[in-house]
Structure 1
Amino acid sequence: MEKLLKIACIQLKVGTNKTENVTRAIEKIREAKVKGAELVTLPECFNSPYGANFFQQYAESVPDGETSRRLSEISKELGIYIIAGSIPESKVNKIYNTSTIWDPNGNLIATYRKMHLFDMGMPYVSGEIPFKESDSLAPGNSFTTFDVKDFKIGVGICHDIRFDEFAKVYRKKGCNLLVYPSAFDMKTGALLWEVSTRARANDNQCYAVSISPARNENADYLAWGHTMIVDPWAKIVQIAGSEEEVLMADLDLSLVDEVRANIPIFNQRRSEIYDTIEK
């Protein structure tokens, strides 16, 4: 049994130069490996600025693009698993917000395309026009799980974390770790970042991790930061500030087992009643 996993969450400062962004990510992956990380995670849009006006410009193919090539090389060189946040992916005249997952042999073992696109009905905190990802992105339609040691990991991206049904599917698939590369803004971050991550950990009695870009005061879009790792009791294990940081934690599956045994909510669910409620 391999119930312990050392995870690194890289809160990366992202600029407008794609090559420099990826190079910086690789430097931080190396730093995480030196600290003993077995699984490294990156934030949403780690190779590009976040914004509807950037997705087309920065989009590339998976796995044939430059970012994928470099991720494959570094995962193989270091012998490490990487959940590569997300990048704008070009595919058959569409652009997706896509996370790629790499194994220690440099193989692309899974991809996840953001399912719930963020169409915000309120003006962005800086006073700009409302933000609609659907103006430039296509939604994904599939769940993604993969295994590292005895951990089964489910991946969502940013806005996905707001949907408890989405996370519950992963719990039903056997996941004990949920990973959400994200980029909440200053308003939604202050109000909802912590409560959303802790809620998903509590609802599903698992570890939940939300990874943000570092805040770049020169960017058009200001990320909230505060990357966090939450345990199955919904306790914050580690939390970053707003600056660039490599956040580390040791995850222990025995804690998942303990919580699920002591409070067996999934055995107590009354789905025969829930399912009769009119949709």
Structure 2
Amino acid sequence: ASSFNPEQARVPSALPLPAPPLTKFNIGLCQLSVSADKKRNISHAKKAIEEAASKGAKLVLLPEIWNSPYSNDSFPVYAEDIDAGGDASPSTAMLSEVSKRLKITIIGGSIPERVGDRLYNTCCVFGTDGELKAKHRKIHLFDIDIPGKITFMESKTLTAGETPTIVDTDVGRIGIGICYDIRFQELAMIYAARGAHLLCYPGAFNTTTGPLHWELLQRARATDNQVH
């Protein structure tokens, strides 16, 4: 595509821009310690969401893999059938109930999702009516091997998602990524072209490479695309 017609270089092409939010709103970011007790993790997340809402948050975000230890051994054990809902997905059932009761929008961090014989790292977005508005499956899996420091291969158990996720909510149009997705500017460019007001990347960075990247990449994606 010609550099004089930058929209022709974007796939998919830009959508009509939505109206920006008319008022300011508070965002609650929940930092959660995770244990091997799944019920405890769900209860802990619920209390954190309720606390954020009690302080005026209209949008609440959870971290990546908040219902499970972050390990390849744990992902198959803690995975849920999100589409089935109910007892098959107690984590998302809680998010649905709380978002409706408190009339808030929740970016549900991420949990391991089971679909047939595949596992995904999946973020669910719930609206103020308690309905599931969008599901984002982590596109860029994090495989790292730094001798003497850290070795972890998400691709040993997880399947990569294939689809960008943008969702209209009561607080504006939001583009969703998960952790390592933020490393790749193309995803953020697509969201900006589609009129996103806000980009949300729930993450669980390791302490080896994380401190080098988490602030730098957030600032870069925001500056490059002129979004929050």
Question: For the superposition of Structure 1 and Structure 2, which TM-score range results when normalised by the shorter chain?
Answer: 0.7 to 0.9
Percent same amino acid at aligned positions?
45
- Structure 1 segments (4+ residues) deviating >4 Å: none
Distance 1:188 1:112 in 2: 24
Q: Does the alignment pair 1:53 with 2:101?
A: no
For residue 197 of structure 2, what is the aligned residue in structure 1?
A: 176
For residue 114 of structure 1, what is the aligned residue in structure 2?
A: 138
For residue 5 of structure 2, what is the aligned residue in structure 1?
A: none
Q: Answer whether contact 1:3 1:149 (CA < 8 A) is retained.
A: no
For residue 13 of structure 2, what is the aligned residue in structure 1?
A: none
Q: Does the alignment pair 1:84 with 2:114?
A: no
Could you say which structure has the greater relative contact order, defined with CA pairs below 8 angstroms and 6 or more residues apart? 1
For residue 119 of structure 2, what is the aligned residue in structure 1?
A: 95
For residue 275 of structure 1, what is the aligned residue in structure 2?
A: none
SS of residue matched to 2:34: coil
Q: Deviations over 1:45-99 (max 9, x none)?
A: 0101112121111101104111111111111111111010000000011000000
Distance 1:151 1:66 in 2: 27
Distance 1:107 1:123 in 2: 45
For residue 32 of structure 2, what is the aligned residue in structure 1?
A: 12
Query: How many residues were matched structurally?
Result: 204
Q: Deviations over 1:76-129 (max 9, x none)?
A: 11111101000000001100000001111111111000000011132473x5xx
Distance 1:123 1:170 in 2: 36
Q: Answer whether contact 2:96 2:132 (CA < 8 A) is retained.
A: yes
Distance 2:188 2:159 in 1: 21
For residue 181 of structure 2, what is the aligned residue in structure 1?
A: 160
Distance 1:206 1:83 in 2: 17
| TM-score (normalizing by structure 1) | 0.71
Distance 2:56 2:169 in 1: 15
SS of residue matched to 2:74: helix
Unaligned runs of 5+ in 1: 208-279
SS of residue matched to 1:52: coil
**CA apart distance, 1:148:** 2.7
**CA apart distance, 1:152:** 1.1
For residue 16 of structure 2, what is the aligned residue in structure 1?
A: none
Amino acid at match of 1:38: K
For residue 22 of structure 2, what is the aligned residue in structure 1?
A: 2
For residue 64 of structure 2, what is the aligned residue in structure 1?
A: 44
Distance 2:50 2:139 in 1: 30
Q: Answer whether contact 1:120 1:131 (CA < 8 A) is retained.
A: yes
